[in-house]
Amino acid sequence: MADVLELSLPFLLFATFALPLLFLLLKPKTTTAASATYGPKSYPLIGSALAIAANGDRLPQYVTGLIRRSPTHTITFRGPFGSCLIVTANPANVEHMLKTRFEAYPKGPLMNSAIRDFLGDGIFNADGETWKIQRKLASHEFSTRSLRRFVDVAVLSEVSGRLLPLLSSAAKCKTVLDLQDALQRFAFDNICKIAFGSDPGCLDPDAPASDFAAAFDDAVWLTGQRLTTAVWFVWKLKRALRIGSEKRLFDSVRIINDFAAKLIRERKSQLATAAKSETENSDLLSRFLETCGADERFVKDIVVSFMLAGRDTTSAALTWFFWLISSHKHAEEEILREISNFGSEVVGFEKVKEMQYLHAAICESMRLYPPVPHDTKGAAEDDVLPDGTFVPKGARVAYHPYAMGRLESLWGKDWEEFRPERWLRKDEAEGKWRFVAEDPYKYPVFQGGPRVCLGKEMAFVQMKSVAAAVLRQFRVVPAMPKFEPDYVANLTSKMKGGFPVKLISRDT
């Protein structure tokens, strides 16, 4: 987990000089059953750095183990000089943070400063009035029928025009394809159409490499590294000197901003022409420009933020979904039975809403492998969580969907099983499945409360359309037998090393 790993980094700055002495002189502070907080061993000055450093390559799994051992499912990591990170998988605490005491848990200055160069003051990095203005504006735009139609058209054209031909070629040539990479390129093309009304063509095998897509990849990774490889004064010093990873990030963000500025100028010109011809524009950039007028930086920040969410989260969710389906034949057969009712064409917005079992299977996949493994807030004031955990002002507080999906107390003894049926009820009269949503604070994959994800409906349209189209035509088989991927967390989750697969046509 990025926020947890950050706590270990001050240790690395002075370990060469101080660590031998610390081992000799300092005794660890251990937690006891009577303690009000639970977590790893903590030492004076360096806090929980040793435990965190020892588990740096498996932090989501390590944090989950600690949370399971805590009676309240809340743990505390001690940082240097009295700082702390509180991590919870307790639904009551999650509701408290995201809804009941929403104003007391903003994004906070640490996350805001680390991400600002990339996302600016966009909706996912904003607090207070800036966030409220954007939320109100985005909420209105996402509720329009014209945008829903545009999303539908963009998804269908990208699936039928590029994704399926790419998979068909791999199946025909019997080549191994990195499905994670293909899905990420698909999602990037799709969200660029929706957000900018522009087509980078990343999924087109004949198209040249996109500098913008490469820069976006780099910016995502390097922004995440700010939270995993350097304390604030280290990355800020490198940023001021423009050296190392910070120079790379600066160059990547410049490419993104130049690209966005060019599109904004072109779109403004197009909007002036469209106003004369009364042509409707449905991409987000056009709609935000029509609403916000001259504030180009504001528009750019909003749209780039939506690009991040629309690309990385849906591609991550689909990658894990296809891996799980490949080893659960019953679920695959149920999905095939369901999509057979909708003909042979790629299904869109209206039809995917009727696919109850597929919806459940995707939700179940995200329970076990959430696209965003954790979300961190900053405590704006002293507070006490419902489970009794004291939160000092300035502390970071995170809820952990990855751990929450792995708790027996929340999901039962069969929590390890991939079982879409846990989301369904059978309508005995009609003999059909009916999807039943879980409490959003037990399953905060799309957040909850005032910050609940505005693109949730759009994401499900995209994911269900892709899943139905791919499974209708192909069996997705891992290229390596008994493939067990590693879950890697940065700003979003990924499958370490990609997902190499073989596509087998169902017509053969």
Q: What is the DSSP letter of 1?
A: -
Q: What is the DSSP letter of 248?
A: H
Task: Pick out the chain residues at pLDDT < 70.
Answer: 1-37, 146-147, 228-232, 274-281, 292-294, 343-346, 348-349, 508
pLDDT for the residue numbered 152? 79
- Give the rounded distance of the alpha carbon of 89 from its chain centre: 17
Amino acid sitting at position 255 = I
Task: Kindly give the pairing relationship between strand 493-495 and strand 487-489.
Answer: antiparallel
pLDDT for the residue numbered 219? 93
What pairs with residue 375 in β-bridges? 399
Radius of gyration of the chain (CA): 23
Task: Kindly give the pairing relationship between strand 424-427 and strand 84-88.
Answer: unpaired
What pairs with residue 29 in β-bridges? 42
End-to-end CA, the chain: 44
pLDDT for the residue numbered 385? 97
Amino acid sitting at position 247 = K
HSE at residue 77, side-chain half, CA atoms within 13 A, is 26
pLDDT for the residue numbered 499? 97
Query: Which residues touch 150 (CB under 8 Å, ≥6 apart)?
Result: 194, 282, 283
Q: Are 203 and 322 in contact (CB under 8 A)?
A: no
CA dihedral 454, 460, 461, 464 (to 10 degrees): 170
Q: What does the block give as tokens for 168?
A: 């068909």
pLDDT for the residue numbered 21? 42
Positions of E strands within 142-204: 177-178
Amino acid sitting at position 100 = T
pLDDT for the residue numbered 29? 45
Q: Which residue has the tokens 């009609």?
A: 430
pLDDT for the residue numbered 19? 45
3-class DSSP string for 216-235 = HHHHHHHHHHHCCCCCHHHH
Q: From CA 270, how far away is CA 296, in angstroms rounded?
A: 15
Coil, strand or helix at 287:
helix
Q: Which residue has the tokens 């006891």?
A: 32
Q: From CA 304, how far away is CA 307, in angstroms rounded?
A: 5
pLDDT for the residue numbered 31? 41
- Give the rounded distance of the alpha carbon of 493 from its chain centre: 6
Per-residue pLDDT tens digits for 137-158: 888 777 777 667 777 788 888 9
pLDDT for the residue numbered 133? 84
pLDDT for the residue numbered 433? 79
Domains defined along the chain, listed by start:
1-107+374-404 (3.30.43.20)
| Other beta carbons less than 10 A from residue 413's beta carbon | 7
Task: Kindly give the pairing relationship between strand 84-88 and strand 396-399.
Answer: parallel
Inter-axis angle of helices 296-308 and 109-119, nearest 10: 100
Query: Which residues touch 108 (CB under 8 Å, ≥6 apart)?
Result: 127, 376, 377, 378, 379, 380, 396
